[in-house]
Amino acid sequence: MPTAAHDAGAPGRRSASGGAVVLAATPIGNLGDASRRLTELLGEADVIAAEDTRRLQRLVHGLGVHPRGRILSYHEHSEAAKTPELLEAVAGGATVLLVTDAGMPAVSDPGYRLVEAAVARGLTVTAVPGPSAVLTALALSGLPTDRFCFEGFLPRKAGERASRLVELRTERRTMVFFEAPHRLAAMLRALVDAFGGDRRIAVCRELTKTYEEVLRGTAGELASWAEAGEVRGEIAVVAEGAPEAPPARTEDLVADVQSLVAAGTRLKEAVAVVADEAGTSKRELYAAVLASR
């Protein structure tokens, strides 16, 4: 039976210690997107764990907030070392506010390790929802939003990136990626190689900022655009899912069965294998194979 750590939608409801880990979404570009709850917690939290303390200082200055709590750096290279310290603070009754450079912590940003450890100890974990580059890009892309997946950053090495995209070639859901501007052209060209040049793509740049730009087109068109000049800013790429595969033709399935039989597989076994892969009737395929002889 699942257990509950008394997580709640508001920081006022806590577990026995009275403390909580609070994941707070920060603006992805426009300071006006900061919520009132975020502003209040930046001023009231006992501890603020920030991915970049310099960016945090710019944020609180822009919001006119004066944090009363202790501020510490919490990024990908310090997560392992500082997570126990933060857990002890929560266990002692402290509110630990986790913020990253932009958007929701733990989504392609530090935070997962802390949440996993807090849940394992039965400590309260809650969130202050807000801006999300993933959802903003998806909504603006013009591509289907009913089913989607987030793939984060693709591998930097060309071979590993190509292998990952081959795995995603048949993914039917809309896909959202992050990419660095200096790697965008190579990433889009890899999309063309893996998905084909006609797959619909949206490149979302500098979302919510002054120079926000969303370019929509085919993978081939946008790869050529990226290769033609220097791209700057924060980038999210949204890719259309794979089209539904056309139903296999009976003559092609018969040929597949005959190939397996020629390789030594018994007829009934060959029919079963091919029919299962194609999602068709074994009986009808078996009859078609016999009729072709």
Task: Locate 106 and state its tokens.
Answer: 């733990």
Residue 8 pLDDT class (50, 70, 90 cuts): very low
Average pLDDT over residues 2-29: 69
> Residues 143-162: what's their mean pLDDT?
96
Fold of 20-131: Cobalt-precorrin-4 Transmethylase; domain 1 (3.40.1010)
pLDDT, tens digit (0-9, with 9 covering 90-100), for 200-255: 999 999 999 999 999 999 999 999 999 999 999 999 999 999 998 777 788 889 99
- The dihedral through the CA atoms of 115, 116, 117, 123 has a sign that is positive
**103 φψ region: left (φ > 0), alpha (ψ -120 to 50), beta (else):** left
Q: What are 49-72's pLDDT values in tens digits?
A: 999 999 999 999 999 999 999 999
pLDDT in tens, 266-286: 999 999 999 988 888 999 999
- Cβ partners under 8 Å of residue 186, min gap 6: 158, 161
Query: Domain map of the chain by residue range?
Result: 20-131, 134-239, 250-292
Tell me the pLDDT band of 116, cut-offs 50, 70 and 90.
very high
What element of type H or E holds 39? Answer: helix 36-44
Beta-bridged to residue 236, according to DSSP, are 178, 204
Is 134-239 in the same CATH topology as 20-131? no
Q: Residue 130: helix, strand or coil by DSSP?
A: coil
Q: How many Å from the N-terminal Cα to the C-terminal Cα in the chain?
A: 58
DSSP structural state of residue 29: S
Topology of domain 134-239, per CATH? 3.30.950
